[in-house]
C-alpha cells in the first residue's frame, strides 16, 4: 500500500500532513512536542521524520481515511499499544 506523505510545519509543534494514497488525499493536523519526539524517536530525529514514520506505521494498520484528522502523537499509542516499541525500529 503505497502512499505519499507530505509534512509541513504549521507553527510550534504543529504539522500539517497530507497523505496521497492511490489518488485519494487526506489531510491531518498533528501535534508533536519536543517531549513527544524525545519519547518516541532516537536522539537527533527530526519531528518531520518521526511523523512520517508514524504515518507509515498507521497506514500499515488502517486506511488513510480512518486516521484522525487532528491528533497529538501520543494518541497513536492509545489505539495501537505497540506503537512506542515499533516506531523506534522503523526509525
Q: How many domains does the chain have?
A: 1
As a whole number, mean pLDDT of residues 15-30 equals 95
Cα–Cα distance between 45 and 37 in angstroms, integer?
8
pLDDT beyond 80 at 41: yes
Task: Print the domain residue range for 66.
Answer: 4-90
Q: pTM here? A: 0.94
**Model confidence at 1: pLDDT above 60:** no
Percentage of the chain surpassing pLDDT 70? 99
Give pLDDT, residue 23.
86
**Residues 8-20: tens digit of each pLDDT:** 999 999 999 999 9
How many other CB atoms sit within 10 Å of the CB of residue 77? 15
**And the C-alpha cell for 41?**
524517536
Amino acid at each position: 500500500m503505497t502512499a505519499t506523505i507530505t509534512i509541513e510545519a504549521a507553527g510550534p509543534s504543529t504539522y500539517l500532513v497530507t497523505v496521497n494514497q492511490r489518488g485519494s488525499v487526506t489531510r491531518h493536523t498533528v501535534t508533536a512536542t519536543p517531549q513527544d519526539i524525545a519519547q518516541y524517536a532516537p536522539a537527533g530525529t527530526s519531528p518531520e521524520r518521526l511523523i512520517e514514520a508514524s504515518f507509515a506505521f498507521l497506514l500499515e494498520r488502517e486506511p488513510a481515511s480512518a486516521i484522525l484528522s487532528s491528533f497529538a502523537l501520543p494518541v497513536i499509542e492509545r489505539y495501537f499499544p505497540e506503537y512506542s516499541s515499533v516506531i523506534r525500529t522503523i526509525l
